[in-house]
Chain A
Amino acid sequence: MTNSIREIEGMEVIFIVGSNTKETHPVIANRMLKARRRGAKIIIADPRKIPMVKFCDIHLQIRPGSDIALLNSMAKVILAEGLQNDEFIGEKTEGFDAWKASIETFTPEYAEKITGVPADEIVKAARMYGSSRKAGVFYTMGITQHACGTDNVSALANLVSLTGNIGRESTGINPLRGQNNVQGASDAACLPNVYPGYQNVEDPAIRNKFEKAWGAPLSPKAGMMSTVMMNEAAAGKLKALYIMGENPIITDPNMHHTVKALENLEFLVVQDIFLTDTAKFADVVLPASCSFEKNGTFTNTERRVQRVRQAVNPPGEAREDLWIITEISKRLGLDMENSPEKIFTEYCRLWPAIAGISYARLEKRGLCWPCPAADHPGTPYLYKDGFPKGKVNFVPVSYQPPAEVCDREYPFVLTTGRNLFQYHSGSMTRRVEPIESHAGEPYVEINPFDSKNLGISSGDIIKVRSRRGEIAIKARITPRVSEGTVFIPMHYREAAANVLTIDALDPQVKIPELKVCAVALSTAGP
């Protein structure tokens, strides 16, 4: 997030795109409600009538995968009505004219055809967002989990640049991280192309610095992203995999493909707290500890580094993950610090943006990075003093239909996501009795109009089939989804949505298109 969570209270306009905030980030939704009580307006673009819709001023119920058409069209309206921020565009951006030309065709009427949203609603939303100079954009996987995910983000960024709604308090663009330490895992460089703090592995000077610090030679070539690793494993090129606290069988698209990849490996180590579906394929399983059983830090979606403290001991012989890593490392001839605080200190030394953070400072309250010095108060919102590369680029993006579109055989769009009660692959929440008793059953959401045509009633077990697989699942009839669209939450291994999803990837960041694929529904039959 470029803003901190607290700043949401001060926003005039909140534009939520592809984020089911009330269910996936309930406490951030609470802040949005607080802003609303103070007079903020809320715009939502989402294919479903998600719970937050109850509180919004405008709901743009777009067809899955049509975000770019909507966003480009809003930009066009803003320009047509002269609501753009000329000063910001002139001083802080590049590529405006070329981009402007690129959205020429995106009239609201044209966008209506692609998105299914009435043109005048698009105009209304554009006016609302465009006339505010204190607006925040929020998005999650509904924007990124598409084959055109990168383009989606660019389209949003263009809209933000056009209005200059960034770099000020309560004004910015805010991806909401789905898991508690996605931000931290990225910062700490569990990424194939960078060292901690987003320092490029292919830059020799940087590599030199890290080789010195770690006392070992480092590979000069960027590595593979997880989705690529799976493909390479399936192709027999990747031979060994060490998975720590992940369950790709359930969370990755196209489950059959993932199974094939893991089966193909010569050696698989899985370090986890449960014998997950992924762990079952492992050669060695290492019992780890959960966040209540160890010390350390997490970095949340607002870049706030916060202390995790041990409350209880791990069960049996299960050990802290850090101990396991350092023990393996020792056996590979690399000695590492093994206390969380000492590791953290080493980390801070190597990344200037957190050089000012220490466990002592985190005792009372977390700090948002950048925090370069011990007396620096942290940075609740980014880009106050300009952008890292000087100027932001307008990036022309054009609309492309999703990788898989509906046809006669597969007439429905399947979109996937989370619900309020379960979390991710469910390995934790599904073991919490009241949660499981309340929300323990997989379901597919179907619009009443469609269910009537298909002769399906609520509670029926039906078959959902895609080109990749088929699952049997209970039907839930609800106007939350629009006609022609169905939704399946991702949490349930017994009816795993990812049996159906497509493994088409975004060409740049290799995010799978989990939000759109084509499926067919049929009553289960005998």
Chain B
Amino acid sequence: MARITINGKTIEVADTATILQAAKLHKIPIPTLCHHPKLTPFGGCRLCIVEVKGMPKPVTSCTTTVGNGMEITTSSPYLQELRKTVLELILSDHPNDCMICEKAGDCTLQNLAYDYGIRENRFQGERRTYAKRDNNPFVERDLEKCILCGRCVKACDEIQGVEAIDFGYRGFNSKICTSYEQDLDCEFCGQCISVCPTGALTGKLWIRKGRKDHQEEVDTICTYCGTGCTITAHVKDNEILKITSKEQTMNEGWLCVKGRFGYRFVNSPERLTRPLIKRNGAFEEASWPEALDHVAKRLVEIKAGYGADAIGGLSSARCTNEENYAFQKLIRAGIGTNNVDHCARL
């Protein structure tokens, strides 16, 4: 443990903690842009600088570990001025078209600009422009909004192990791209989208479907593999707009291509919407009472004719526990046979 003082307040934290972690733990705000708690520290945006007594210059709190007796100041006119300069520089190379940006309302850069009241910008100059190159079915990229925080690069490398993207070029022309701009070799997990703090990366599926406002968030479980990742469905007007996952979940907020993008079957026009009864080899729509009565009648007939063991039930590993429980209860107690199974072996 280390005893440190932040803004005059003495606290104790683990001596492996960074200043940023220590501050966060004690709810002391420090602005960040390139930092992501699940990724290795980067130190690129320079917004999280703090002053440490005895050090000649401000240090980045995301990369500096605490030391016993450290005296730290997280906010001062000098620091605010430096942070403002950095923000102005970022914004001087940013489209600033929040009014039509997907990320508005949920954008770290926008929030910081608001916090620091940046309307005028002392720095004007060239802005990067890119011709749109679009052959990615899942990820929408707007490189002009990219602030090169490097989070997507690290997510792709450290979390996903894919290394599909990296920094390329140098100086003002630096950009995130595949190495040597070769073809993209990507798993489309969308981890990169989930960590992008601005509107540079978005899911194609949810473009122009609505911004953060007026969405309802429902936490539920992914419908695909047995990992059972916790997902959050963003819903508006009875439609799922997008899927995200929160950092505190057992899956740490990471998802795969199916979990993140595979929800669109829900409103497929091919969904069954009416019960169907086959008559003379063709399906006819039926009402619920009609269909249910028919099913019950046939089951009773067959049981009467051949015994309960001539009936079987196959349940599903995609149905809930409650449904599975009720299903086997129906087969066992309602029909009277143990002929019930599911697809565990397939």
Contact = CB atoms under 8 A, between A and B. Distances in A.
> Do any beta carbons of A and B sit within 8 angstroms of each other in the complex?
yes
Interface of A: 5-6, 22, 24-30, 33-34, 37, 54-55, 141, 144-145, 176-193, 195-196, 201, 210, 214-219, 221-227, 229, 233, 237-246, 248, 251-252, 266-267, 269, 272-275, 279, 282-288, 290-294, 296-302, 304-313, 315-319, 321-322, 324-329, 331-334, 336, 340, 343-344, 346-347, 365-366, 420-421, 423, 427-429, 431-435, 437-438, 509-512, 514
Nearest to A184: B321
Interface stretch (B27-35, B55-63, B145-153, B330-338): B330-338
Nearest to A509: B345
B81 interface: no
Contacts of B274: 287, 316-317
B273 A315 contact: yes
19 contacts: A33-B158, A34-B159, A188-B328, A189-B340, A190-B342, A191-B344, A196-B328, A224-B312, A243-B313, A275-B270, A285-B276, A292-B220, A301-B227, A311-B235, A315-B271, A343-B322, A421-B258, A427-B265, A432-B261
A428 B240 CA distance: 15
B296 A183 contact: no
A214 B221 contact: no
B299 A309 contact: no
B327 A325 contact: yes
Nearest to A343: B322
Nearest to A285: B276
A182 B344 contact: yes
B41 interface: no
A304 B342 contact: no
Give the most central of B225, B275, B322: most A CB within 10 Å: B322
B105 interface: no
B52 interface: no
A313 B238 contact: yes
B321 A344 contact: yes
A97 B214 CA distance: 68
Given A224-B339, A315-B273, A344-B321, A24 B225 contact: yes
B227 A240 contact: no
A151 B304 CA distance: 41
Q: Which of A177, A241, A311, A435 has the most CB of B within 10 A?
A: A311
B202 to A, nearest CB: 13
A427 B224 CA distance: 12
A179 B313 contact: no
B324 A184 contact: yes
Listed from nearest, the 7 A-B pairs whose CB atoms lie closest are A316-B273, A300-B228, A177-B226, A296-B320, A245-B316, A223-B338, A331-B296
A309 B220 contact: yes
Contacts of A223: 309, 312, 337-341
A326 B327 CA distance: 9
Given A291-B220, A306-B230, A298 B321 contact: yes
B98 interface: no
Nearest to B137: A434
A176 B224 CA distance: 13
Interface stretch (B69-77, B82-90, B113-121, B248-256): B248-256
Nearest to B323: A321
Given A27-B255, A307-B221, A299 B321 contact: yes
Contact of B341 (A225, A269, A296): A225
A438 B271 contact: no
A428 B223 contact: yes
A26 B223 contact: no
B335 A431 contact: no
Nearest to B258: A423
A28 B238 CA distance: 31
B318 A189 contact: no
Nearest to A225: B341
B288 interface: yes
B262 A226 contact: no
Given A240-B298, A312-B235, A313-B238, A340 B320 contact: yes
Contacts of A315: 267, 271, 273
B345 A266 contact: no
A434 B342 contact: no
B322 A285 contact: no
Contacts of A191: 340-342, 344
B311 A240 contact: yes
A267 B192 CA distance: 50
B153 to A, nearest CB: 15
Given A190-B342, A334-B333, A420-B187, A219 B309 contact: yes
Given A184-B320, A226-B314, A429-B262, A304 B336 contact: no
A227 to B, nearest CB: 7
A201 to B, nearest CB: 5
Contacts of B25: none
B315 A244 contact: yes
Task: Give the most central of A25, A37, A226: most B CB within 10 Å.
Answer: A226
Contact of A317 (B270, B288, B330, B336): B288
Contact of B342 (A246, A298, A435): A246
B218 interface: yes
A431 B264 contact: yes
A223 B265 CA distance: 34
A291 B275 CA distance: 19
Nearest to A510: B345
Residue among A54, A144, A187, A246 facing the most chain B CB atoms (10 A cut-off): A246
Contact of B345 (A192, A227, A272, A317): A227
Contacts of A266: 298, 302
A181 B256 contact: no
